Chain A
Amino acid sequence: MKPNTNPGPATLWMSFRRVFSMFFFLGRKTGKSRVFLLLGLIPVATAVMARIFMTGRAEDVVAVFNEILIVFYVTFDIVILSLFYGTSIVAEETEGRTLSYLTTRPLAKTGIFLGKYAAYVTLMFLMVSASLFFSFFIMNGHRFRDPALYLTFLRYAGALGLGIIAYTALFAFLGTFLKRAILVGLLFGFGWENVVQYFPGSTQRLSLVHYMKSLMPRRAAGGPLSILLFRLEPSTPAVAVLMLIVIAAVFLALACWLFRTKEYLYEE
């Protein structure tokens, strides 16, 4: 037998990097990404409309952003994105029967899972932050010279980024062992998460959205739309960041363990 000249097995980090590159590329080419990119145009279009129809009412324009658009991002956009991308990390490979192309390469299974997770999280963050960037600066166009504006934007983007990391980890975990993970994810993302945030006391800490909202810049209560945020009893930013990171780490660890040990059979 002639000597083998191929590069040999990868370390966990190498596996991660290789899979990340492949799925960051593949992820951009799917129809799903095009649909979600269009979804990101909704707040941008809303921002443009608000600017046109609310000319001269700067305070109201800012209120629209704070109380409608950011609620759209927090309670809908990132939940739906994370749900579809997170559950698809394993499900699209088993449903599409392509998993064997990955698991018969010299790649650590943990690296495969984390690489694909990171690729999709990066893709989602780019889509959401681009949409947020345009809608935020269209709405706040009158304050371009205010340095605080940029810090506020970074805070929004950071909170949404952490939300994507945590939600995607949770949904990816569901996708590793449930066949209909998307249904369970829908119930969690749009049922539990929506309902529990209006509960008083510590119950709302059982939702991810609570920690994301705790990181958002807040305005004084009031105004017709403040009902959407009315019962928030925020955690401190440090606790919110820590909780989102811990939740992501726990679900990722569980998902990696499952992916490493579970056999995936294709449905006939």
Chain B
Amino acid sequence: MNPGAAEPSNAAHNGERQSESHLRSILATVPDAMVVIDERGNILSFSAAAEKMFGFTEDEVLGENVSMLMPSPDRERHDSYLANYLATGERKIIGIGRVTTARHRNGYTFPIELAVGEAWLEGRRIFTGFMRDLTERQQTELRLQDLQSELAHVGRVSEVGTLASALAHELNQPLTAVANYCETARDLLAGPLDPETVDVLREALDDAAQQSVRAGQIVRRLRDFITHGRTERRVENLPRLINEANALALVGSREHEIEVQVDLDPEARSVLVDRIQIQQVLVNLIRNGIDAMASSRVRVLGIATKRDGEGWIRVTVSDTGSGISDSVAAQLFQPFVTSKEHGMGIGLSICRTIIEAHGGRIWFEPGLRSGTLFHFTLADAEAFND
């Protein structure tokens, strides 16, 4: 199993072979992808399901560093994660499990649920990673129900759809009324303006104003619902928050083969936020980006952070999609404005509500070559300690 090891004695050799065949029989039956690594991160075994998930055969990856299956920034950090654990025993993933992203041989990034176990085999410490692909929607929706207590925002995002159609119906009433009152007023203005007509006119305009206030209240109710609940701001680890949101947003994206480029400022470590809400913003922006790239040849989604040193961290989500037309751009953060064929146009107005409630701001600009960059700012939790 380890070609680099010294030649063992015959008895030990037999024992090793036995445990190896035992391990293999387990591997063959495990439905999840399973990857076993040693203390240095080198791959000792790669299950059939893992071969299918990543596009490599076991033969091709044996002895390679497991970081080859990860996108940046985990790829370059995994060696230090391992060294850290071996030195301190502090568990960040072992026995805990989390949603994260993985890299297919074809270059695209896909969401997985990862659980890691630790064991001793023949006096050697090994780690086993169990992975479940969260790409396929059906599977994921089941998983998400389990994760819902922690990641309630995903549920909320889909509830928004249902709620939005109900509210659109409800909104229609005041809007129709406003239109009717305005038309009446216009017709009255066409005739002679005696005092009685002026009174009716005033009444019609009052009613129109009232109905538009009502429409506003309906929209506010929708926003309250979405941003509702305990707003608990805590100091959160930003890279982890982003990684999780990214994985969730990529759900169902495999057919688009999205190339994700994550570029995180090592100085931008922690933010003071309601994690669920900020992840909701990220999921929204990332999904918008993916949708915008549906007909692009180049589908690169970028997520970057930058600490500005004055108490703020800027988060940028970029795509190489079709961009935003000027007419849509002018009112992009208003509710019900959308460039999508099947969108309600609620997402970005919620994003703005959430970011502004956190004291930050959100804006966008056209990308350098194509697509759009969305930026938002968050309070840097470390600024208070500087």
Q: Do A and B come from one complex?
A: no
Residues of A within 8 A of B (CB): none
Residues of B within 8 A of A (CB): none
